[in-house]
A and B are shown apart, each in its own frame.
Chain A
Amino acid sequence: MKKNYAITLLFLFGFLVSIPMYAQQTVKGKVTAQEDGEPLPGVSIVVQGSSTGTVTDLDGNYSIAVPGTESVLVYSFIGYETQNKIVGNSSEINISLSEDISQLGEVVVTALGITRDERSIGYSTQEVKGENLTYTKEQNVLGSLSGKVAGVQVTGSSGASMGGTQKIKIRGVNSISGGGEPLMVVDGTPISNSNFSGASGQDYGNLGQDINPDDIETINVLKGPAASALYGIRGQYGVIMITTKKGKKGSDVKVELSSAVFVDKVTNLMPYQNLYGGGSSQTWRTLPNGDKYVDMSVDESWGPKTDGTLVRQIMSFYPQDPTYEQLTPFQAYPDNIKDYYETGTNVNNGVTITGGGASSNFRVSLNDTRIQGVEPNTSLKRNNVGLGLGIDLTKKLRLTTNINYAANKGRRPGQGSEDGSRYLGQWFQRSMDMNRLKDYQYDDGTFLHWNLRRPSSSTGEITNYNPLYWANPYFLAYENFSDDNRDRFFGDVGVSYQIMPELKVSAFVRSDMYTQNINSRASFGGTGNPGYSVGKYQNTEMNYEVLAQYNKVWNKFSLDANVGGNLYDRNYSYLSMATVGGLTSPGFYNINASIDRPSTSSYQQKKQIKSAYAMVSLGYNNTYFVDASLRNDNSSTLPVDNNSYWYPSLSASWVFSELIKSETMTLGKLRLSYAQAGSDLSPYSTTSFFNVGSTYTGASTVNTLSVPDNLNNPNIKPSFAHSYEAGVDFKFYEGRVGLSFTYYNQRNENQILNLDVSGTSGFGSATINAGEIVNKGLELAITATPFRSEKFNWDVAFNLSRNRNEVVELYPGIDVYQYGSTTYSSTSSYLNSYVGKPFGSLVGQAYQRDEATGKILLGSNNMPLYTDATHDFGTVLPDFNGGFQNVLNYQNFQLAAMIDFQAGGQFFSRSKMLAVRTGLDPISAAINDNGMNVRDPLAEGGGVKVEGVSAETGEEVTAYVDAKAYYGVVARRIYEDWLYDASFIRLREVSLSYNFNKAQYAKLPVENVRVAFVGRNLAMLFQNAPKGINPAELSTGSQAIGWYESGQLPSVRSFGVNLNVTF
C-alpha cells in the first residue's frame, strides 16, 4: 500500500491476481467494534490472495477454512479499518475493528434524521466533518462551510461584525425574490436561521450560528428537492442537516478541554491620497484676524496641499482645548483611518464531558467566547451549554434528548455608508489626526467633533458645536451604540420503541425558542435628535413528530420503509418602541424620556403546518435501489379552502461496481432522481387589512388608517420546485480517491412574489404566484490521498460547482422584477431580473457612447454624458465557485490549508465611488500625462484627461477638465465606473498543529494534547476588485443577495493558538 499514485490514475482499473491454494485448517472467532465492544455482524473475512471468504453472523461470530498457518485473513467492513491477521497456530481469532475515519460518509444522515447506507441513495449529499469547521473558531460557524461543499455558495461578512451574516445559497438562486435560504436542522430539530439585521446598520447575523461549533459532529447538505422532498413545503431550498456529537454506551468518561486565543487585525484597507487635505478648494479660508483655517464644514479632501502651512485646525476652535487659538502645521495623516481600528481579541474556552454506562450515554458541553472587536467599543460574548442524553429504559424503549442553550450579548459596529464609523472612508479629511479625535469629550462634557459649521465671520469663533454631517467616530462608538442580546433554547425529547427487530416507532417533541433584544441610543450632542429605541422579539417553534421505521432484509432484497407525521407550530411576537422628538434629559435612555408620543408597535404571528409523509426504499442484491417518498402539507398561511399540497420524490441508485468487481474501483454508483418540494409564504398574506397611521392631536385627536402598499392575494398557492438530478460516485483504491459528479436541473414555478407594480395602481407591489426560474448546474467533488505512509499523509479535497440561471417567466405584461435599489444623490441603481436572462442584472447609469466608435460622448463642457438608470450591466451571479483543501500529516504534525474561490459575478462599490468623489482616493490626486497633478490648474497642464466624441459636433475630443468637477459627475452619476468583478481566490484557513498522546509520551498526565497555530482569512490571493474592497464579504446584512458594497466593514485577519486537552 505504499505505492504512490497520482490522481490521473483515477480511471485506471487493476487486475486480480490469483494465488494457488494449500491444505486447510479452520479458524473461528468473533468480530467486535473497538469503540463500544458490540458484536459486528456482516464483516467480510477473506483469505488473502484467494476467493475463499465468509461473513460474520448477527452475533459477530465466524468460522472459516484456511489453507495453512501462513495464511492471512483480511477482515473488512464498511466504515471500519481493514485488518490483516496471520493465522499461525490459532484456531480462534477474535478481532476488534476500529472505525475508519477516511471512509466515514458511508453512512449518511438523510432527511428526518434517517441514517442510510450511502450506496442506497439516489441523490447527491455531501458531508463536512465538524472538526473541519471549528478549528479556526469563526464566530459564525456557517461561514466555515464556504468552499467545502460543491454547490453551496456562502457569502460572508467581515470578521469585524463578530458573527455577522453568512448567507448560504444552494445551487444558485431558486427564488425570483432572491430569498431561498435552506432549512437548518439540528439533530432532527428545524431551527430558525432568521436575521434581525437590515441592509445597513448593525449586522446581528443569522440565527443559525447559535449552535456550539464544538458540538458539531457533521454537517450534511441536502442540496435539492430530491434530498429534501421529505421536508415538503419547507424543503424547496435544500436543508443543512447538523448532527451533534454524542457519548457512546459503555465508554469511559472522557473530558476534553479546548482553549483558543485569537488576535484580529484589520487588513486590506483602501488606499488614500495624502497630498491634499480637508476642504473644498485649494484656496485657504481665513478668519477675521487673517489666520488661515481648515474648513471644518467640508467633509471632503479637495482642500489645500498638506504642505505644513500653519493653520487653525478644528481643535483650536474649542476653548477647552490646549491648542485653542493656536496655529499648527497642516499635514496629511496617512494612517488616520487605520489608526481608528484596534487589535481585536477572541478568547474561546470550552469543556466537554462524554461517556456512557451499560444502557446510557451522555455528552455535556460548555463554551465561553469573548470577542473584542476591531472597531472601538464593540464586543460579543457568547455562551453555549449542550446536553445530549440517551437512556435505554427497557431493552426496547429508549429515551433520548438533546438540549442546547445559547446566550449572546453583543455591541456591534454599524455597517453601510452612513452608519457608525463607516463614513470615514467616504467623507473625511486626509488632514485629520485620528489620535486627536480619540479623546472625544472635554472635561466640561463638550464633545469634540471635526465637522462643524464655519466660525462666525465677524468673531472667528464657532457658534454651534453640534456636528454638521458627521460626528466624531469615537463619539458614535462610545455614545451612540446599540446593544443586543439573545437567549435561545433548542432541542428535542424523544422516545423510541423497538416493537420488533424490524420495526421501530419513535416520537419527538422538538422546540426552538429565542428572545432577541435590541436597543440603541443616540446621545445629546450628535447630528440629530437624541433618542432611544428598544425591541423585544420572541419566537417559539414547536415540532411534534412521530415516525415508524421498518427495515427488513430477505434473500437479496432489502426494504426500508418510514411513515411519519409532523405538526409545526410557530408563535412569533415582538414589541418595539422608540422615542420621538428627542429625550428629556441627557444620559437618561428610556422610552419614558420621549418628548413626543413615542412610536410603539406590538405584533404577534402564528403559523401551523400539518404534515404526513412516507418513504420506501427497496434494494436488490445491494446493487439496485429505488426510493420513493410522498409528503402532504397543510399550511395555515395558505387560503383556507386550498391549503393542502403533495410533494413526491423518486430516486434510484445502481451500484455498478458490484457487477464489475474491480479491485481498484471500490465503489461505482450511478444515481438518478426526480422530486418536488415547495415553500409557502408568511402568515396574513392572503387577507386584506389596513395600516395604522400616525395620530394627529389637534383640536381633537384623530387616529388615521391607511391602505397598505402591498396588495395581498386571497388565491395564493405554494411555490413549487421540480428537480431532476443525475450523478455518479466513484471510490478507488479503497477510498483513497473519491469522485462525485452531479448534474441537476431545478425548475421553480409559481413563485410567491411581492411583485413591484406600477404605483399608479394604488399599490407598490402585489403578492402573486408567478414566474419560473430555472437553475442548471454541475457539481464536482474530488477527494484524494495522493500520498500515504506510516509517517506521512497528504489528503486533498476539491469542490467545484457551476450554476446557470434563467428567469423564464414573470407575470403577464411585466417582464422585469426589481429585487432592490440603492440611491445616492438622486442617482439610483437597481438589481432587476429580466425574462430570458439570469437572475439579478445590475442596472444603472452608464456612459453614453458614440455608436460608431464606442467612445464616450462628451457634453459641451467636455464632461462625459450618461444614460438614464436603465443600462443593464449583466448578472451579479458568479460563474463558478468552490474550494480546495489540503491536509498534510507528518507523524504528529498536521498542516491544513483551505482555499475558497469564486469566478465571475459583479457588484457595485459605493465606497470606492464616494472615496473618489470626495477626493480621498489616490486617483483624485493622480499625475496626468502632462506630468501634472490632476488637481493643478488647467492652465498649468493639470486636470483629468478626457477622451471621447463631442455629442454636439460628432468630432473626437481630447481635453483636460477640472478634477473635482469631473469626479463630481463620474463618481456620482456614472455607475459604470464603479462596478467590479467579484472573482476571488482566498486563503481562508491555515492551521499547523501538533499532537501529544499518551502512547508516545508516557509521562503525559493526560490522554492527548493538541496544540494548533491557526490563521483565518489570511490573504486574498487574487481579486479583480480594487484593494480595500472584499468581494467575498458582500453580505450587506440580511439582504438575500449581496450586489452592492456600501461602507463595508474592513476585512479582518486573525491569528491564534488553539489548545485541546483530552483527559
Chain B
Amino acid sequence: MKKLNIMIITALLLVGCNNFEEDININPNVPSQASGTQLIANAMLSLSGLSSSPQGEFMSQYLSETQYVNASLYPQSSTSFYGWYQGPLMNLQTVLNAADELSGVEGPVSNQLAVAKILKSYYIWNLTDRWGDIPYTEALSGADNFTPAYDSQESIYTDLFNVLDEASSQIVPGSITNDIIYNGDMSKWSKLANTLKMLMALRLSEVNPTLGKEKFAAAVQSGVLASNSDNLVFRHLNDANNQNYWFSQLNQGREWWAISSTLMDKMKPVGDPRLMVYGNANRTDGDYTGLVFGETVDIDTEKYALLGDAITAQDAPVYLVTYAQVLFAQAEAAKLGWITGGDATAEENYTMAIEASMDQWGADTSMLADFMAQPEIAYSADMAIEQIATQRWVHLFMHGYEGWAEYRRTGYPNNMVAPGGAEVPNRQIYIETEQFNNTENYNEAVQRQFGGTESLYGKVWWDIN
C-alpha cells in the first residue's frame, strides 16, 4: 500500500496545482487594447451603409427593380437595426466610455471624443428617422443591460441637439489621426456637427416649428458646411476591401436596378444634366427611359436607363451630408421665415443649392443658365416649398433614406406612385427578434407609438401629416 500512496502523490504532483502559465487564456490572435481613433475609423467604414442600400432607393423611389419585383416593394417584415448598434455605435461608445484612457498621441483626446459624439449622433439620428422610437439612453451598455428601453424620438432629438452642441464646443486646436473622412481637420467636424443640428431642426418643421426655428438659427450661427469640400462623403477606393456597394453588386452581373420613372419624370423633361451622371442611356435606342416603379411584367433591362457608370464605379463616393442640402435647408428656412431674407434669400440659396449639387455630381454645367431659367426650375415664390423639396429630392439621389425622410416631411416629389396600392411607407418595422430578446420594452414602444401593432405605416413623431 505504500507504493499506492507513492502513486497518488506522483499523480498529484503531475497534475500540480491549478496554476497555468499566466497568459494562457489571453487571446494572442487579436489585440486586447485598442486606440480610440482606430475604433472611430472602423465606425467610419460603416458610414456608406447608411446610404448604400436598395431598400432606401425603393423607399424614395429613385430606383426600380428589374428582377424579383414583388407586388409590394417594401419590406413587410422586419428590418434589422442591430448591425448599427453592434458595429459602429458600439465602437464609438467604447471610445466614449474610455474617455480617461485615450491616448493624446493620436490627437487631442477632447477632439477624439467630439468626433465620436458627432458620429454617434449621426447614426442615431438616421436610425430614429427610419424606425421611430429606438433604444438610446440605455442602449450600448453591454452586460449592464441586455434589454434596453426604447426612448421616444422626441427625447432622442432633444438629447442629440445637446450632444452635438457639446461636441462642437469641446473641439480644441489640433488634428486627430486615422480620420478617413476629414483627414483630421477639426474645423470640418465642427461644421458637420452644426449642419447635423440644422438638418435635424428642419425635420421639426411640422411637429415643433418653434423649437426647429430656434435650433436652426443657432446652428447657422455656429457655422455650417460652406462648400462641397466640407461634405460628409465616404470615399470608396479602387480596392475590393473598400469598394462601392453598387460596384460589388453590378460586378456580379446584376442589372437589377433602373432609374425610376418617378425620378426620370422630374429630370428628363427639364433636361437635367445630372441625368447623364445618374443613369446610363438605354441600349435599345440610346435614350433615357425610366422604369415604372413596381412594374412587374417582363422587364428588359436593355430598354431602360440603368445606374450610371459614375455611380457604380468601384471608387464611387457616397455623399451623406452635403453643402447643397445646407443651401436647400436655408432656402426652405428663409421661405418659412425661420431665418431672415424672405423669398430673396430663399431664391439665392435655392439657386446656389442646385449649382452646388451639379458641382458635386460632376454634371455638365455648360447649359446651366438655360436649365435654371426653365419655368419648372426657376424659383417661384408660390411654388417655393415644392420646388425646393423636389430639387432636394433630385439632389439626394442614391441617399435613399434621406430622400425618403424629406419626402415624408414635405410630401414632395408629388409623383410618387403606389404600385398595387402599396403607398410609400412611413417607417420601417423593428427586427422581430426584439420580440424575443427585449420583449417588454418592444411591446411598450409599440404600444406607445402605434397602439399595440406596428406596421410600415405607423408614423414617427415628427411626421404629423
Contacts and interface: CB of A to CB of B under 8 A. Distances in A.
Interface of A: 280-281, 453-454, 456-458, 464, 466-468, 499-500, 503, 505, 527-529, 544, 546, 548, 550, 561, 563-567, 580-582, 595-597, 599, 601-608, 610-612, 614, 632, 634, 636-637, 640, 643-644, 683-684, 686-700, 702-707, 709, 711, 713, 756-764, 766, 811, 813-816, 818, 825-827, 832, 868-870
Interface in B33-57: 33-35, 38-39, 41-42, 45
Interface in B228-254: 235, 237, 239-243, 251-253
B85 A760 contact: yes
Interface in B216-270: 235, 237, 239-243, 251-253, 255
A832 B283 CA distance: 49
B434 A696 contact: no
B14 A692 contact: no
Nearest to A611: B15
Contacts of A700: 183
The 5 lowest CB-CB distance pairs between A and B, nearest first, are A759-B82, A581-B240, A565-B11, A684-B27, A704-B42
A499 B5 CA distance: 13
A706 B25 contact: no
Contacts of A686: 25
Contacts of B179: 702
Contacts of A546: 7, 10-11, 14
Given A761-B139, A762-B85, A813-B147, A606 B180 contact: no
B355 to A, nearest CB: 27
Given A546-B14, A762-B93, A763-B142, A457 B302 contact: yes
B284 interface: yes
B465 interface: no
B30 interface: yes
Contact of A757 (B16, B283, B437): B437
B262 to A, nearest CB: 23
B83 interface: yes
B446 to A, nearest CB: 13
A643 B18 contact: yes
Contact of B77 (A688, A814, A869): A869
Contact of A704 (B45, B68, B78): B45
Interface residues of B, number: 88
Given A550-B4, A597-B239, A711-B143, A456 B283 contact: yes
B200 interface: no
B41 A704 contact: yes
Contacts of B300: 454, 457
A762 B146 CA distance: 9
Interface of B: 3-4, 7-8, 10-12, 14-18, 20, 24-35, 38-39, 41-42, 45, 68, 75, 77-78, 80-83, 85-87, 89-91, 93-94, 134-135, 139-143, 145-148, 178-180, 183, 235, 237, 239-243, 251-253, 255, 283-284, 298, 300-303, 431-439
A697 B93 CA distance: 25
Nearest to B90: A762
Contacts, number: 264
A818 B7 contact: no
A606 B91 contact: no
B3 to A, nearest CB: 5
Contact of A563 (B7, B303, B431, B433): B7
Contacts of A832: 436
A759 B32 contact: no
Nearest to A614: B8
A759 B78 CA distance: 14
A527 B18 contact: no
B432 A694 contact: no
19 contacts: A546-B10, A603-B29, A608-B20, A696-B41, A698-B235, A702-B178, A704-B42, A705-B91, A706-B42, A707-B91, A758-B82, A759-B82, A761-B85, A762-B86, A763-B86, A816-B436, A818-B433, A832-B436, A868-B432
Contacts of B252: 527-528
Contacts of A692: 30-31
B31 A705 contact: yes
Contact of A612 (B11, B38, B284): B11
Nearest to A863: B71
Given A687-B26, A695-B241, A759 B432 contact: no
B349 to A, nearest CB: 32
A640 B253 CA distance: 53
Contacts of B81: 759-760
B239 A596 contact: yes
B77 A691 contact: no
B3 A503 contact: yes
Given A607-B24, A693-B45, A814-B436, 8 more contacts: A634-B15, A643-B20, A684-B26, A694-B241, A756-B437, A758-B148, A759-B82, A760-B434
B12 A565 contact: yes
Contacts of A695: 241
- Most A CB atoms within 10 A — which of B8, B14, B87, B243? B14
- Most A CB atoms within 10 A — which of B4, B11, B180, B301? B11
